[in-house]
Structure 1
Amino acid sequence: MIDIHCHILPNVDDGAECMQEAINMAKIAKEQGINKIIATPHYHPEFKYAKGEELKEIYKEFKNELKENNIDIEMYLGNEIYYTYDLIDKFSELDFYSLNDSKYILIEFPPNNFPNNLCNVVYEIKQQGFTPILAHVERYIKIHEDPEIIYDCIKTGAIIQINSSSLIGKQGKEFQKICNLLISRNMVHLVSTDAHSDTRRRPLLKDAYEYVEKKHSKSMAENLFINNAQCILDNRDIIIEEPLEKQIEKVSLLSRIFRR
């Protein structure tokens, strides 16, 4: 499997706190059947997270440590970009990393200041030459209230990612419910760990893969955990299934009469 959202690099953000913890995370990932990871440390214009060349050097050091520890995982570099209202205007000035130097960027939104015009944001990012992957969409209250936001974003060109822990109910039934709703309507393209440590938020995918395989289908699981992520690594277009429109229940005139 391939994890395209993981805070595994040590001492760069709120993820792994040291090299040993990062190595432990990699061992867990390998045991889970994860063979490729895109490290996606937070990129926040106002926070002093490691970025640019400093981040690339830490990434190279971690890859060397994996080799020294005989952990056979392929590593790639990216960022999880924090959206601010002036972000797009500054795109050309910022030193963030797209996912494996592809056209895909991973982007998250402030939960308490979620943009009302999300489709416009997607459109503007596309105009900059990138394809936005909307991170852990199940965590936003506005999506619970109106899943059609995701439908519209996909039609505008967004790729949708959810967290594995949400999908299997580790974050509560409501998170699991919205994940399943989105999957059933072809409105999820990637399931990732969003792992931050080797204890509390670990890089776990196996149970989520088996859950999708059982509840939905094996082909769906293959796409969400492997095929679509490989397209990102190869900088190829993900084959997007047409998202399903909301089903509006139609009540016949005859049934209305009998209900009276």
Structure 2
Amino acid sequence: MIDIHCHILPGVDDGPQMIMNSIVMAQAALDEGICTIIATPHHLNGKYTNTKLDIVKNVELLNQALLEESIPLTIIPGQETRINGDLVERLQQDEILPLNDSKYVFVEFPSNHVPHYTSQLFFDIQVAGYTPVVVHPERNSTLIQDPDKLYRLVKNGALTQVTASSLIGKFGKKIQKFSTEIVEANLTHFIASDAHNTTSRGFYLRDAYDYIKREFGNGLVFQFMENAESLLDGRAVVGDQPNRIKKKKLFGFLKR
């Protein structure tokens, strides 16, 4: 398996702080069946700054450490950038790092809102030749309350990535329900771990794929896995026509 979103680089953000912790995470990933990880440290989220050059350097160091420990896991450079109005310019200035230097760019929303300029920014990103990938939309309170915002972004060409632990209930039943609705409505294209450690924020990728297999069938599992490979290789990803998440009625009232 390929994990396209993981905080495994040591000492750069809220992931592991020491190289030995990264090694423990790497072994846990292997046990999970993961062979390749895209390291995606936070960037411009108000607390952490991890530029392209710094990430590439740290990925090289971690890969060397894994080689010395005889751990057959490959780390690929990526970045989780908080949405900002200068994102296109930062891409053009080579500060922002697309995943594996492909056309795919992770974009993180604040947890409690979606900026008003998002649609225009995503249009500009696509005009510049890149594809925005919204990370963990299932944990954004605005999207939970108004999933049509997510539908419109995907309809207009954005991709999304749902977190494995969200699907299996690690963030609570409400987020699990919304994650499942996102998958059912064809509003996501990738499942990834967003792992930060091996305790409170583990991988759970195998469990998430098992959940999807039970709920939606094996075909969708293969689709998500193939999309991860396509992203890594810079090829087009696939997905069925996105649908709106229907609001359910309860006692005559609309309810999310």
TM-score by length of 2: 0.91
Q: Deviation per CA, 1:138-174, whole angstroms, max 9, x where unpaired?
A: 0111111111112111111111111111110110011
Q: Percent identity, please.
A: 35
In structure 2, the partner of 1:52 is 52
Q: Give the aligned residue type for 1:146.
A: D
In structure 2, the partner of 1:146 is 146
Q: Deviation per CA, 1:207-250, whole angstroms, max 9, x where unpaired?
A: 111010111110111222x110101011001122111245589x
Residue pairs, 1:85-96, within 5 angstroms? 85-96=85-96
In structure 2, the partner of 1:240 is 239
Q: Which has the higher contact order (CA 8 A, sep 6+)?
A: 1
Structure 1 gap segments, 5+ residues each: 250-260
Moved over 4 A (4+): 45-48, 246-249
Q: Bigger CA drift: 111-120 or 213-222?
A: 111-120
CA contact (8 A) 2:223 2:238 kept: no
Deviation at 1:48, TM superposition (A): 5.1
Whole-Å Cα distance in 2 between the matches of residues 231 and 13 of structure 1? Answer: 27
Whole-Å Cα distance in 2 between the matches of residues 148 and 88 of structure 1? Answer: 25
Q: Deviation per CA, 1:103-143, whole angstroms, max 9, x where unpaired?
A: 00111012244213433232121112110110000011111
Whole-Å Cα distance in 1 between the matches of residues 31 and 164 of structure 2? Answer: 16
In structure 1, the partner of 2:3 is 3
CA contact (8 A) 2:90 2:96 kept: no
CA RMSD, aligned part only? 1.8
Deviation at 1:199, TM superposition (A): 2.0
Q: Give the aligned residue type for 1:244.
A: N
Whole-Å Cα distance in 2 between the matches of residues 210 and 173 of structure 1? Answer: 18
CA contact (8 A) 1:162 1:191 kept: yes
Count of aligned pairs between the two proteins: 248
- Say whether 1:204 aligns with 2:204: yes
TM-score by length of 1: 0.89
Deviation at 1:206, TM superposition (A): 1.1
Whole-Å Cα distance in 1 between the matches of residues 197 and 246 of structure 2? Answer: 40
In structure 1, the partner of 2:226 is 227
Quickly say closer, same or farther: Cα 1:211–1:113, change in 2 above 3 A.
closer
Q: Deviation per CA, 1:75-116, whole angstroms, max 9, x where unpaired?
A: 211100111233334432351211011000111012244213
Structure 2 gap segments, 5+ residues each: 249-256
SS in 2 for 1:125: helix
Q: Give the aligned residue type for 1:111.
A: S
Q: Deviation per CA, 1:13-42, whole angstroms, max 9, x where unpaired?
A: 111111000011111111011111100011
Q: Find the structure with the greater CA-based Rg.
A: 1
Residue pairs, 1:1-260, within 5 angstroms? 1-44=1-44, 47=47, 49-224=49-224, 226-246=225-245
Q: Deviation per CA, 1:170-223, whole angstroms, max 9, x where unpaired?
A: 100110010111111111111111111222211221111101011111011122
Whole-Å Cα distance in 1 between the matches of residues 24 and 164 of structure 2? Answer: 19
CA contact (8 A) 1:3 1:37 kept: yes
